[in-house]
């Protein structure tokens, strides 16, 4: 038996027990006649004491050779500590060691294995197994496990059945770029790794499984933006014989359960907002509604004077920043520079200070009088002491810019409180989205999403106006999930592919299997997927997902620990019938 107890469980009630412990040496203090060692495992830290007067001389000698991260086993007696440590649960006791076995020596770790480490991101990732020994990372993984467990139980109790779908599937042109895998047995042919189990879960509905879920890896070969992973985990779900309302209720229930379980927060009905409203009010389809600063559209009250910049703009729109009238000229200039950075791309910014006594002071006083400015304050909801910031230009672009500014100010002013949770359903997404690059429409969600029946007639005349039965769940400004009611008949699916620019042959070749299945009795169905990595991070009050993934990739999509991706042998290439020519 390696151990009778773990390193986190001994208490004062265990005094006088003979115990065996095993773990890692966190640190040791050698006072000559006495040596203390902090022994660590996943469960905690227990102090060991080696005492010349009570410990055998040979054991004493061996204890002096212990280095950090040595793996050891000790046998000894639990005794009460003289100076107690209230910071750890085992702080009342220590183990007086009688026998010591070194199970494995360790090299000096490249960074300190403590809560606050001196190791930078790169070195921690290279030695991730050492990083995981640290409490913050270990606890994040344990937390993830708990969330996953709750999700499994919650959904299983509602008759959802977890079913695995294949990882080696077929590449399709829709959506993001696929990771592909060459097939040795089928020369010149490739599998793709799934971007999501979308078509399989729909086929499971056709198969009559009624309620499916899977906690599943998905793969997308996209250029990595900060905090994106090429492989990530989804809680993927699908249900039959349901309407949008049923799906929203089930997953609102799941989210409510998680918020209650992990934060003891009761949230009643989640608010809902249409996509159009979210874009108009927050310039964003995943608004953080923990704070205000709603957009106020000012065209009607700002385009009647000689200020050409506003007059020529498609949209003039502003936000009221609470308490910011006290910003100095320098601070405001810095904000103007901030919105002009290429990442945001505004050409300038107008401001109005709402000073005490109902007086307004603006950067466009030349053009607008107090009465005008009072109207702007009314529309943006600005009160005395607030600062109105106004951008203008093409509508969509300007909304995106103002949204970036709103989020930045939300962060700077501490309005995005990590312990506050504000879920929101965004519904009625557009079905299609115009893509400048390819000069055609793309499915905004995916091509299996059903259009709203009342909008189908617009497909031929005004495709961008067609709304979909699609919804996202947003939490604190992050999209944590999204899904849709699906098309379940062949004719509508064919029509959809036609509008996405597929010829009937292409549609048949790519998705014939699905459309054929629809001819064999497909039930009405729909579903959604939650991004597990982000959900867990947000529930833990954090925004970076990397610490919640045991072995994440870096920003270049590399695993720096195992050094992947990497070239493969010529023999392997030959076997796969692949010849590689690198372009420079
Ligand atoms: N498959 C979709 C996604 O990965 C989710 C869904 O529609 O259920 O975003």
Question: With left for phi above 0 and alpha for psi between -120 and 50, is residue 221 left, alpha or beta?
Answer: beta
Q: Please report the pLDDT score of residue 478 as a whole number.
A: 94
Confirm or deny that 446 is annotated as ligand binding: no
| One domain for residues 376 and 499 | no
497 is a domain residue: yes
| One domain for residues 511 and 446 | yes
Rg value, the chain, Cα: 30
Report the predicted TM-score, pTM, of the whole model to 2 decimal places: 0.93
| One domain for residues 399 and 472 | no
Rounded distance from Cα 448 to ligand 1 centre (Å): 10
Of residues 205, 204, 182, the one with CA closest to residue 193? 182
| One domain for residues 408 and 459 | no
Query: Do residues 414 and 323 touch, judged by C-beta distance below 8 A?
Result: no
Confirm or deny that 572 is annotated as ligand binding: no
Domain boundary among 352, 384, 415: 415
Q: Please report the pLDDT score of residue 174 as a whole number.
A: 67
- What's the CA gap between 236 and 217, in Å, rounded? 10
Confirm or deny that 198 is annotated as ligand binding: no
Domain boundary among 86, 104, 122: 104
441 is a domain residue: yes
Q: Please report the pLDDT score of residue 214 as a whole number.
A: 98
Ligand 1 binding pocket mutation candidate from 174, 202, 234, 250 (most atoms within 8 A of CB):
234
Range of the domain at 390: 291-415
| One domain for residues 67 and 168 | no
| One domain for residues 45 and 146 | no
34 is a domain residue: yes
- Going from the C-alpha of 432 to that of each of 176, 400, 440, the distances in angstroms are 16, 19, 10
| One domain for residues 411 and 433 | no
Residue 88 token pair: 């750890």
Of residues 194, 163, 201, 159, the one with CA closest to residue 180? 194
| One domain for residues 183 and 222 | yes
Which numbered atom of ligand 1 lies nearest the CA of 470? 7
Which numbered atom of ligand 1 lies nearest the CA of 449? 7
Rounded distance from Cα 215 to ligand 1 centre (Å): 13
Confirm or deny that 534 is annotated as ligand binding: yes
127 is a domain residue: no
Per-residue pLDDT of the chain (584 residues; tens, 9 = 90+): 999 999 999 999 999 999 999 999 999 999 999 999 999 999 999 999 999 999 999 999 999 999 999 999 999 999 999 999 999 999 999 999 999 999 999 999 999 999 999 999 999 999 999 999 999 999 999 999 999 999 999 999 999 999 999 999 998 776 789 999 999 999 999 999 999 999 999 999 999 999 999 999 999 998 877 778 999 999 999 999 999 999 999 999 999 999 999 999 999 999 999 999 999 999 999 999 999 999 999 999 999 999 999 999 999 999 999 999 999 999 999 999 999 999 999 999 999 999 999 999 999 999 999 999 999 999 999 999 999 999 999 999 999 999 999 999 999 999 999 889 999 999 999 999 998 888 889 999 999 999 999 999 999 999 999 999 999 999 999 999 999 999 999 999 999 999 999 999 999 999 999 999 999 999 999 999 999 999 999 999 887 899 999 999 998 999 999 999 999 999 999 999 999 888 87
Rounded distance from Cα 3 to ligand 1 centre (Å): 46
Residue 65 token pair: 């050779």
CATH number at residue 69: 2.40.50.140
Of residues 445, 456, 524, the one with CA closest to residue 495? 456
Which numbered atom of ligand 1 lies nearest the CA of 234? 4
Cis peptide before 565 (omega within 30 of 0): yes
Residue 114 token pair: 């403590």
**What is the domain count for the chain?**
3
Q: Please report the pLDDT score of residue 581 as a whole number.
A: 84
- b/e code 158-167 from CB counts within 10 Å (16+ = b): eebeebebee
CATH number at residue 205: 3.30.930.10
574 is a domain residue: no
Q: Please report the pLDDT score of residue 538 as a whole number.
A: 93
Confirm or deny that 221 is annotated as ligand binding: yes
Residue 456: partners with Cβ closer than 8 Å, 6 or more residues away:
466
Rounded distance from Cα 199 to ligand 1 centre (Å): 10
Residue 190, φ and ψ in degrees, nearest 5: -130, 145
| One domain for residues 295 and 374 | yes
**Number of Cβ atoms within 10 Å of the Cβ of 492:** 16
| One domain for residues 143 and 187 | yes
Q: Please report the pLDDT score of residue 511 as a whole number.
A: 94
Report residues whose beta carbon is within 6 angstroms of any ligand 1 atom: 196, 198, 482-484, 527-529
Residue 493 token pair: 């699916």
177 is a domain residue: yes
Residue nearest (by alpha carbon) to ligand 1 atom 4: 196
Residue 4: partners with Cβ closer than 8 Å, 6 or more residues away:
19, 20, 21
314 is a domain residue: yes
| One domain for residues 516 and 397 | no
Residue nearest (by alpha carbon) to ligand 1 atom 8: 528
Residue nearest (by alpha carbon) to ligand 1 atom 1: 198
581 is a domain residue: no
CATH number at residue 295: 3.30.1360.30
| One domain for residues 232 and 340 | no
Domain boundary among 54, 80, 104: 104
């Amino acid at each position: 038996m390696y151990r009778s107890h773990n390193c986190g469980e001994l208490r004062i009630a265990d005094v006088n027990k003979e115990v065996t412990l095993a773990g890692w040496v966190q640190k040791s203090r050698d006072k000559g006649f006495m040596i203390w060692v902090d022994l660590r495992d996943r469960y905690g830290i227990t102090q060991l004491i080696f005492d010349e007067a009570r410990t055998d001389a040979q054991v004493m000698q061996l204890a002096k050779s212990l280095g950090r991260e040595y793996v050891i086993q000790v046998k000894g007696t639990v005794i009460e500590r003289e100076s107690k440590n209230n910071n750890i649960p085992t702080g009342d006791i220590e183990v007086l060691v009688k026998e010591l076995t070194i199970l494995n020596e360790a090299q000096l770790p490249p960074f300190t294995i403590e809560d606050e480490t001196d190791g930078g991101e790169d070195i921690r990732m290279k030695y991730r197994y050492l990083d995981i020994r640290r409490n913050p990372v270990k606890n994040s993984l344990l937390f993830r496990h708990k969330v996953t467990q709750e999700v499994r139980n919650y959904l299983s109790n509602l008759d959802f059945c977890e079913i695995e779908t294949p990882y080696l599937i077929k590449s399709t042109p829709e959506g993001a770029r696929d990771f592909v895998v060459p097939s040795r047995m089928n020369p010149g042919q490739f599998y793709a790794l799934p971007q999501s189990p979308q078509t399989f879960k729909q086929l499971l509905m056709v198969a009559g499984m009624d309620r499916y879920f899977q906690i599943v890896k998905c793969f997308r070969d996209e250029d990595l933006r900060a905090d994106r992973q090429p492989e990530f985990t989804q809680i993927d779900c699908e249900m039959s014989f349901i309407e949008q309302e049923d799906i929203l209720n089930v997953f609102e229930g799941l989210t409510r359960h998680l918020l209650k379980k992990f934060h003891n927060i009761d949230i009643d009905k989640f608010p809902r907002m249409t996509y159009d409203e979210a874009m108009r009010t927050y310039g964003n389809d995943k608004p953080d509604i923990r704070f205000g600063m709603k957009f106020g559209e000012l065209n009607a009250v700002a385009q009647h004077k000689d200020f050409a910049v506003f007059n020529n703009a498609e949209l003039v729109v502003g936000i009221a920043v609470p308490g910011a009238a006290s910003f100095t000229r320098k601070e405001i200039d810095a904000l103007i520079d901030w919105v002009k950075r290429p990442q945001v791309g505004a050409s300038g910014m107008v401001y109005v200070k709402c000073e005490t006594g109902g007086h307004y002071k603006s950067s466009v006083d030349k053009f607008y009088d107090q009465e005008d400015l009072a109207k702007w304050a009314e529309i943006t909801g600005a009160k005395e002491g607030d600062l109105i910031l106004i951008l203008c230009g093409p509508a969509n672009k300007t909304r995106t810019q103002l949204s970036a500014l709103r989020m930045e100010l939300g962060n700077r002013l501490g309005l995005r409180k990590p312990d506050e949770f504000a879920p929101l359903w965004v519904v009625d997404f557009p079905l299609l989205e115009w893509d400048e690059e390819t000069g055609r429409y793309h499915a905004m969600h995916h091509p299996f999403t059903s259009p709203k029946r009342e909008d189908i007639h617009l497909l031929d005349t005004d495709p961008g106006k067609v709304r979909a039965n699609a919804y996202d769940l947003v939490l604190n400004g992050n999209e944590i999930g999204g899904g849709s009611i699906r098309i379940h008949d062949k004719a509508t699916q064919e029509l959809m592919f036609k509008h996405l620019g597929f010829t009937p042959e292409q549609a048949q070749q790519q998705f014939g299997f699905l459309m054929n299945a629809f001819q064999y009795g497909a039930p009405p169905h729909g579903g959604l997927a939650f991004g597990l990595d982000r959900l867990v991070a947000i529930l833990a009050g954090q925004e970076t997902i990397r610490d919640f993934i045991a072995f994440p990739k870096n920003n270049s999509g590399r695993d720096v620990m195992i050094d992947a991706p990497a070239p493969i042998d010529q023999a392997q290439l030959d076997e796969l019938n692949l010849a590689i020519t690198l372009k420079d």
